[in-house]
Every structure is written in C-alpha cells, then in structure tokens.
Amino acid sequence: MEFLVIPLFFGVIFLASSIRIIKEYERGIVYTLGRYTSTMDAGLRILIPFVQQMDKVDIRIRTEDIPSQDVISKDNVSVKVNAVVYYRVINPADAINRVENFAHATSLLAQTTLRSVLGKHELDDMLSKRDQLSTDVQALLDNQAEGWGIKIANVEIKDVDIDPSMIRAIAKQAEAERERRAKVINAEGELQAAVQLDEAATILANRPETMQLRYLGTLGEFVNSPNSKTILPIPMDLLTAFSK
C-alpha cells in the first residue's frame, strides 16, 4: 500500500502542474522547450510539465495616461500637452515575442508621437482643432504599434496649458489685432461714404432740378424742427431781375 502512495502523490503533483485555467479576457502564449508553439483561448488547458510553459496576456482595453509633454508649436509657442490613449492587444503572440514590454513601449511611443504631431501645428489649431489632432495622433500611433500586435482604440488630448507669460503676450496680440480690424473697417466705411458722396455730387451737378428738390427737402427739415428760426434765402435770379 505504501508503494502506491508515493507514485499517486507524484501523479497528483504532475497533474496539478500541467493544468492551467485561462480566463475569458486572457490568452495563453505557449512555449515548448522555449519555442513559441501556440496561443490558447479561455478555458481549462493541459500543458506538458517541464516541457511547456505559458504566459498569459490580458486582451482587455487598457488606459494609458500620457504625462504632460513640452511641445513647441509651429508658431514657436511653448505649451504643455497631456492625453489619454486607449489600446488593446489583438495579437498576443506578437505583443510578447516582438517587444520586451509592450505596455511601456506603447506609452513611450505615444509620448513621442504626440510631440511630433502637435509640433507641426500652430497654437490656434491645438486649441480649436483638438478632435482632429487626436485623430491624427491615433492614426499615426496605430500604424506604428500594429507590428507589436497592438490596436489603438482612441486618443484624447485632455489639456493644452500655456505659460502665463505667453498668455499675456497672446492677449496683447489679440487686442492689437482687434484694433487693426476696427481701423480697417472704419477706413473701408469712410471710403464707401466718400465714393457715394462723389457719385451724389456728380448727379446733382448734372441735374439742377435734383439739386432744387434736395434744397426743398432740407428746408422742410428745418421748418419742422421745434424752437427754430428759418431764414429763407432770396434766389439770385430774383435779385438779378430787380437790378434791371
């Protein structure tokens, strides 16, 4: 009986060391004598002890918070930008075999890609076209991480922080721009008024009857005004008639 206990004991240990349970959100990367042989799905799996080993990979969507990055915009404005990257493993074998630490590698790649993309745009674009820039970063990052078995699900640029000294400079620039536009609009209005007055003077000079109508209209405005005295000028034609 004692001779059966020892083999049974080792048999139980052997069986326990060969059983692996893979959860639904995991995949198992199996190595046979150090060589990658297969990827196992979720469920109860049996391995050959001391011959096969397995690494588990979580395939759920991961969230990577990109720390603030110093970015110099195309118009030479220094800003700090941070973002969030959502990604997941779509090829567990590549994620394990092609890169040492895919999570760390993805984080560093996201930081460099964020600086590269935003550095090609002006500050106004960073503030007003944030969604478009996020899409550009996602597309470039997804293309580079594809070889690691990584799929970039989404990139969101959270904050674009400007140095306080730059905020004051930008405010002065905006104020100067508003004043310039006001002067341009005022000059355009004066130009249009001058053109219209010139056209009106030409019409009145060519048509004396129009000038008389204008004279009567102006006279009516004075007559209808309260508390006003009206002096009617004597036409030159009438004075000429009396002098004869």
User: Are 174 and 123 a contacting pair, CB within 8 Å?
Assistant: no
Binned average pLDDT, 10 residues per bin, the chain of 244 residues: 59 70 94 93 89 92 91 85 94 93 93 92 85 92 93 92 70 74 84 77 66 58 58 52 49
The range of the structural domain enclosing residue 111 comes to 62-167
Element spanning 153, H or E = strand 150-162
pLDDT at 10: 56
Note whether 23 and 72 are same-domain residues.
Answer: no
**pTM across the whole model:** 0.65
pLDDT at 98: 92
Note whether 70 and 140 are same-domain residues.
Answer: yes
pLDDT at 96: 93
Q: How far is CA 133 from CA 190, 198, 218, in A?
A: 42, 52, 62
Taking 3-state DSSP, the helix, strand and coil percentages for the chain, each rounded to the nearest 5, stand at: 55, 25, 20
Question: Considering the domain boundaries, does residue 110 fall inside one?
Answer: yes
Note whether 51 and 88 are same-domain residues.
Answer: no
User: Are 31 and 37 a contacting pair, CB within 8 Å?
Assistant: yes
Note whether 35 and 98 are same-domain residues.
Answer: no
Q: What is the secondary structure of 43-104 as a DSSP string?
A: EEEE--TTTEEEEEEE-S-EEEEEEEEEEE-TTS-EEEEEEEEEEEES-HHHHHHS-S-HHH
Amino acid at 19: I
pLDDT at 213: 58
3-state secondary structure of 10: helix
pLDDT at 6: 64
pLDDT at 241: 46
Note whether 46 and 75 are same-domain residues.
Answer: no
Element spanning 183, H or E = helix 164-206
Question: Considering the domain boundaries, does residue 40 fall inside one?
Answer: yes
Domains in the chain, number:
2
Question: Considering the domain boundaries, does residue 132 fall inside one?
Answer: yes
> How many residues comprise the chain?
244
Question: Considering the domain boundaries, does residue 232 fall inside one?
Answer: no
Note whether 18 and 93 are same-domain residues.
Answer: no
Q: Using CA atoms, how far apart are residues 172 and 163, in angstroms rounded to an integer?
A: 15
Note whether 43 and 77 are same-domain residues.
Answer: no
Note whether 81 and 36 are same-domain residues.
Answer: no
Note whether 104 and 69 are same-domain residues.
Answer: yes
pLDDT at 238: 43
